Amino acid sequence: MKAFSRILLAGLLAGGVAGPAFAQATASDDAAASITVIRPITIASSGDLAFGTVIRGAGTVAIAAANGNRTTALTTIGAGNTRAVFDIGGESGQNFSITAPATIDLTGSVSGTLTVTLAYTATGTQALGGAGLGNAGTFTLGVGGTLTLAANTPTGLFSGTIPITVDYQ
């Protein structure tokens, strides 16, 4: 029996009996850290909205946002009509929003104001064109508009500004 007890004890000591279980005292893992750096967004006016010269009378004058063509039944003198153009730049492929007014007022050099209803080649959220991240992207925004003249509109130069804001999205 002594021999059997020794064999049993030797078997147990060789790994047959589990000792007390210990919980893991530490654990670790990793998280990635990164940053993407892009060019700042820019906007620059490269052309002004010009309705040209018209002879006073009742009617409308419109400038197309897409190409600057003028439409009117009023008598015009010369060309001088152009759409406004804004050149937007930044990181290629990035989305941005355009914030622009629906109307602006033109103030007369002598007296009076004229309200222009503006038209745009694009509104809302757009994407800068180009070859993707790491490259410059561009977008061109055209602005036209329509104004109405009364038969008694004061003569003179009427002028104002078109505020456009662009923001990355």
Q: 37 CB contacts (<8 Å, ≥6 apart)?
A: none
Tell me, yes or no, whether 146 lies in a domain. Answer: yes
Give the integer Cα–Cα distance in Å for 113 and 123: 26
* pLDDT, tens only, 31-83: 999 999 999 999 999 999 999 999 999 999 999 999 999 999 999 999 899 99
Tell me, yes or no, whether 107 lies in a domain. Answer: yes
Q: Which residues of 13-40 are buried (b: 16+ CB within 10 A; e: fewer)?
A: eeeeeeeeeeeeeeeeeeeeeeeeeeee
Tell me, yes or no, whether 39 lies in a domain. Answer: no
The pLDDT score that the predictor gives to residue 91 is 97
* pLDDT, tens only, 150-160: 999 999 999 99
**In contact, 99 and 167? CB cutoff 8 Å:** yes
Tell me, yes or no, whether 122 lies in a domain. Answer: yes
**In contact, 154 and 126? CB cutoff 8 Å:** no
What is the reported pTM?
Answer: 0.82
The pLDDT score that the predictor gives to residue 2 is 56
Give the integer Cα–Cα distance in Å for 160 and 126: 26
Tell me, yes or no, whether 78 lies in a domain. Answer: yes
For 31, 59, 71, 103, 115, the CA distances from 148, given in Å and listed in that order, are 62, 6, 12, 12, 8
* pLDDT, tens only, 68-122: 999 999 999 998 999 999 999 999 999 999 999 999 999 999 999 999 999 999 9
Domain that holds residue 111: 45-160
Tell me, yes or no, whether 26 lies in a domain. Answer: no
Domain count, the chain: 1
Tell me, yes or no, whether 28 lies in a domain. Answer: no
Tell me, yes or no, whether 116 lies in a domain. Answer: yes
* pLDDT, tens only, 126-145: 999 999 899 999 999 999 99
* pLDDT, tens only, 18-32: 556 678 899 999 999
Q: Which residues of 149-161 are buried (b: 16+ CB within 10 A; e: fewer)?
A: beeebeeeebeee
The pLDDT score that the predictor gives to residue 23 is 82
Residue type, 165: T
End-to-end CA distance of the chain: 85
